[in-house]
Amino acid sequence: MKDAIATETDLPDPDKADLLEQVQNLAVAKQTEEPAQKEGLVRKAKKMFAATVSTLPDTAKLVEACSKLLPLILKALGFPV
């Protein structure tokens, strides 16, 4: 997912940085034992991805990557898709 974010031409650099931060937060959430903290990290990342991806054209590679990978990541973390 990091590569899809970094190479997305339709995404401004500040938005790329925000999404890359959220990818890192998902990695932290995977290691977090505290349920409330884990839920907060995942909820924020999910919202950020949804808001950002909704502004991109459907042909953007990131839209395709997120539609495939984000549900898998959320499921692996034990959250509903």
* pLDDT for residue 65: 86
- Amino acid at the residue 37: Q
Reference 1, options 57, 52, 55; nearest CA is: 52
The pairs formed by 43-52 with CB atoms below 8 angstroms and a separation of 24 or more are 46/70, 46/74, 46/79, 48/18, 48/19, 48/22, 49/19, 49/22, 52/11, 52/15, 52/18, 52/19
Distance CA 80, CA 48 (A): 16
pLDDT digits over 21-71, tens only? 999 999 999 999 999 999 999 999 999 999 998 888 887 888 888 888 889
User: pTM of the prediction?
Assistant: 0.82
Q: What is the per-residue pLDDT for 58?
A: 82
In this prediction, residue 44 carries a pLDDT of: 95
Could you tell me the residue ranges of all domains in the chain?
2-76
- What pLDDT does 74 receive? 87
